[in-house]
Amino acid sequence: MNRKQFLSTIAFAGAAITFKSKNGMDLMAQSQSGQPDVVAVMGGEPDEMFKQAIEELGGIFKFIEKGWKVVVKPNIGWDKSPELAGNTNPKLIAEIVRQCIQAGAKEVTVFDHTCDDWIKCYKNSGIEAAAKTAGAKVVPAHEESYYKEVQLPEAKKLKTAKIHEAILNCDAWINVPILKHHGGANLSISMKNYMGIVWDRRIFHSSDLQQCIADICTMKKKPVLNVVDAYRTMKSNGPQGRSTADVVDTKSLFVSKDIVAVDTAAAKFFGQIRKMPLENVGHLANGQTLGIGTMDLDKLNIKRIKI
């Protein structure tokens, strides 16, 4: 099947892209009454899907309080345009910033420790302009002086890490990764997005990457929300991608407080685009072992919305 046929199939299937449990039940259906643990939205624009998701979770006011300093942390790692799906969609970031300000946030800060030149990444991703227009402050993360060392007593291998001051000084932060293939970690989602708040990422790659990704997520100050952008999904040659041939227009979004659960749901979704067994994404199981979340979607209340 060529790329054009694949895109047509995905677009036609739309609502049929679901998660199946071992007994064949649809995990994207709301399994229990009450507020969902995970919300998945499909078929809309990034801002529209976030509005739907946050409403299902009780509104932004449930997570952000008046007078708070808030960080919105996207993936801005690469000097790529939005069409190449290397970075979080700027329309999604703008909507989250707007909602935080509407909730009364004193200040909203956006940043990432980029891999490519930070000025080019911020500009060409479209995130800097979108965030500023929505009312956020965009700050750099390219110098070690911006970071302070924190202890990770619950970690197995990564016992300390230098964390960006914006995270350490905020009242709440929202983790907004993009779902994509990654040559080292196999998938880059919410847990992997923590590496953008850390100064020395070489330690991750020179040690046990899958364990270190889980370890950094034991940091005391956890995100109040994890919002996984899957509007466009890089299915191959990640994390940078080479061309639009690596990208599928999936128009989806996954949101949860539980970082392991939302990444498990997103990983299952990715597995229907390209084969990716969950055991290949070892930081998910490692995170569950460390108690930062659950992979057992059968026990969660999951709400699916098709726009």
Instruction: Say what the pLDDT of residue 34 is.
Output: 81
Rg value, the chain, Cα: 18
Indicate if the pLDDT at residue 58 is higher than 50: yes
Indicate if the pLDDT at residue 21 is higher than 90: no
Q: Whole-number mean pLDDT of the chain?
A: 91
Ordered by where they begin, the domains of the chain are 3-306 (3.40.50.11440)
Return the minimum-mean-pLDDT range out of 20-29, 69-78, 290-299: 20-29
Per the structure block, which two tokens stand in for 79?
Answer: 């000097």
Indicate if the pLDDT at residue 131 is higher than 60: yes
The overall pTM is greater than 0.85 = yes
What's the average model confidence in pLDDT over 143-164?
A: 98
Distance CA 178, CA 159 (A): 27
Whose structure tokens read 């498990």? Answer: 264
The tens digit of pLDDT for each residue in 26-36 reads 444 444 458 99
Distance CA 227, CA 176 (A): 5
Indicate if the pLDDT at residue 6 is higher than 90: no
The residue type of 294 is T
What's the average model confidence in pLDDT over 292-306?
A: 97
55 compared with 31, residue with greater pLDDT: 55
Return the minimum-mean-pLDDT range out of 26-40, 71-85, 160-174, 224-238: 26-40
150 compared with 29, residue with greater pLDDT: 150
The tens digit of pLDDT for each residue in 176-195 reads 999 999 999 999 999 999 99
Tell me the H-state helices in 109-188.
118-124, 127-134, 165-169
194 Cα distance to chain centroid: 9
Instruction: Say what the pLDDT of residue 99 is.
Output: 98
Confidence of residue 10 (pLDDT cuts 50, 70, 90): very low
In the chain, % of residues over pLDDT 90: 87
Q: Find the length of the chain.
A: 307
Instruction: Say what the pLDDT of residue 55 is.
Output: 98
The 8-class DSSP code of residue 138 comes to E
- Could you tell me which residues come within 8 angstroms of residue 92 by beta carbon, excluding any fewer than 6 positions away? 46, 47, 49, 50, 74, 176, 227, 229, 231, 253
Indicate if the pLDDT at residue 9 is higher than 70: no
Return the minimum-mean-pLDDT range out of 17-26, 87-96, 290-299: 17-26
Instruction: Say what the pLDDT of residue 12 is.
Output: 34
Indicate if the pLDDT at residue 95 is higher than 80: yes
Q: What is the enclosing helix (H) or strand (E) of 216?
A: helix 209-216
